[in-house]
Structure 1
Amino acid sequence: MTALEFGYRIENLTSSLKPYALKLTKDGEDANDLLQETVFKAYNNRDKFQDGTNLKAWMYTIMRNTFITNYQRMVRRNTFIDTTENNHFINSSGSVIENNAKGNFVMRDIKASIDSLKDIHKVPFTLYFRGFKYHEIAEKLNIPIGTVKNRIHIARKELKKGLKVYAN
């Protein structure tokens, strides 16, 4: 097969390779780059292609391997080697240590905000928060279901106001 014939056959396959590139990269620009790199590698290695075999499968394999190689290169770029005596490998993006201090502060503020509600709003809200249905709360407190919904709504508004600092 001549280089011109090989190039023509590759050109005809690019439309079927594009969806696979999009599936791998999840980005249009990256997919175009991957497709271009795949076509380039296939054309440069056309002497390794054996006539009578499946060109489309060969191209898919080149694309998959190119994607994997690029991904591994990107991961290595985000990893650096500590040159101290112990030579530890450290992944720079995953070295965040978190204690639960922020969560403890937030829970304390939420509890304080709930405790500051009036009892007529706090009781239905607390029951609802614990998993009771509106009709169960209405029966338990012996009030109409509309009143239960209204009191829970008011409690939510008050809590939202009291916890405004955590809005974002």
Structure 2
Amino acid sequence: MNVKKFSTFLILLIAAVGIFFLPAVRVLSISGRKNPDKVFYSAAAFKEGFIISYTHSVNKGRVHDYYSFLPDRTLELYKTQFVSYGAGIPEPEETPGAFFTVTNDGYFIENLNRKVPRLVMAVGIVANHSIAAGSEFDSGKEKFFTDYFEPQTSLILEYKKVSVFSYMRHKL
């Protein structure tokens, strides 16, 4: 093999390895806080954001918290849906610009605009936490955290860049 062909081959090999192993894919990362090796990523399905759902500990109704991704890779809680008020349910007056609506599907507080760098939560025993992709809740598409993590596991959800290799290895 001559030097020119070898140089071209070497450049292509380095480029391929770089594409495969350098952080390039934006994903929703879900990992155990005490066990960061147990991690799941999802990209395409969660492009529009995600919905965390749980059974409220007081009123026993399902709550759906709607999150979107911001360009600076933070998360934004922009809407919550619930069946009745209970401890921890936000009041629209707490956030300037937020508004309350009532539909046949329940109560909504929209325009919350609560930004967080990452979401830290524990997998509930009674709460039955789940996640669904997109901006419209569909109970047939939700995934329950207890299918992937033990109850009471502390989780970190964050929007970050990972390599193609890492994404393929830990895809949800």
For the criterion TM > 0.5, the same-fold answer is no
Greater radius of gyration (CA): 1
| Structure with the largest fraction of helix | 1
State the TM bucket, normalised to the shorter chain: under 0.3
